[in-house]
Chains A and B, each alone.
Chain A
C-alpha cells in the first residue's frame, strides 16, 4: 500500500476551520483516501473517504488535489470535541485491512 505523510501535530482555536493535510505522492489510480480519527481513550472512528472528487459529510469535507498526490481534511468549525488524532490512510482495490500511521494530533483551544 502507498504511504502517507502527515504533520505530527496541529493546533486550532475553537470555532475556527481546521485544514489537516496529507501527502501521498505514490498513490495509484485505484487507491481510496480514508480518514479516521481517534478521540482520547476510544477506538478510531471513520470520518470520510474519497477517490477523486471532493467529498462532504456531516463530520467533515475531504478536498483531493487534482493530481491526487495530496488531500486535506477540513473541519469547518472546530470544537473541543474534535481534539483527536487524525489518520490519513490509503487503500487499494485488493486491500483487506487498514494500515495506520502515527497520524496528526489536533489540539483545539477554547
Chain B
C-alpha cells in the first residue's frame, strides 16, 4: 500500500492554458474522489467515480473541467482555458467502498498567473 499518489505536486500555468492532473489511487480501491481546496477553507467536493463510472459531479465543476477514470484505476482531471480563480490545491482520494474511510493524496497545487 503506497498510498494515493498525485502528479504533479505543483503546476504553474498561464491563464488560458490547459492543464491535466493525474491521480493513482490505492490499488483495488473502487471509489475515487476529486476535491479542490483554497487557502483557509476545507476541501470542496468536485466529483467521484465508482470504478470507471463518474457518478456525481458538483456544480463547482464547470464545463471547463473534465475528469476521467478510463479503466477504473488511475484518474485524470483536466482544466481547459484556466482562469486565475482556478488556483487551488486539487486533492484526490480513494476508498474501498462508501462506508470505508477516504485516503487522500497530498494534492496538486495549481497556480494560474
Contact = CB atoms under 8 A, between A and B. Distances in A.
A96 B106 contact: no
Given A41-B106, A43-B4, A100 B42 contact: yes
A8 to B, nearest CB: 10
Interface stretch (A20-28, A44-52, A73-81): A44-52
Contacts of B56: 96-97
Contacts of A34: 101
Interface residues of B, number: 22
B91 A96 contact: no
Interface in B60-90: none
B62 to A, nearest CB: 18
Interface residues of A, number: 20
A98 B35 CA distance: 10
Given A43-B91, A43-B93, A96 B105 contact: no
Given A96-B55, A97-B48, A46 B42 contact: no
Contact of B105 (A43, A97, A102, A103): A43
Given A44-B43, A103-B42, A98 B106 contact: no
B41 A44 contact: no
A2 interface: no
B104 to A, nearest CB: 3
A96 B43 contact: no
B98 interface: yes
Contact of A97 (B40, B45, B106, B107): B45
Interface of A: 34, 36, 41-46, 49, 85, 87, 95-103
Nearest 3 CB-CB pairings of A with B: A43-B104, A100-B42, A46-B101
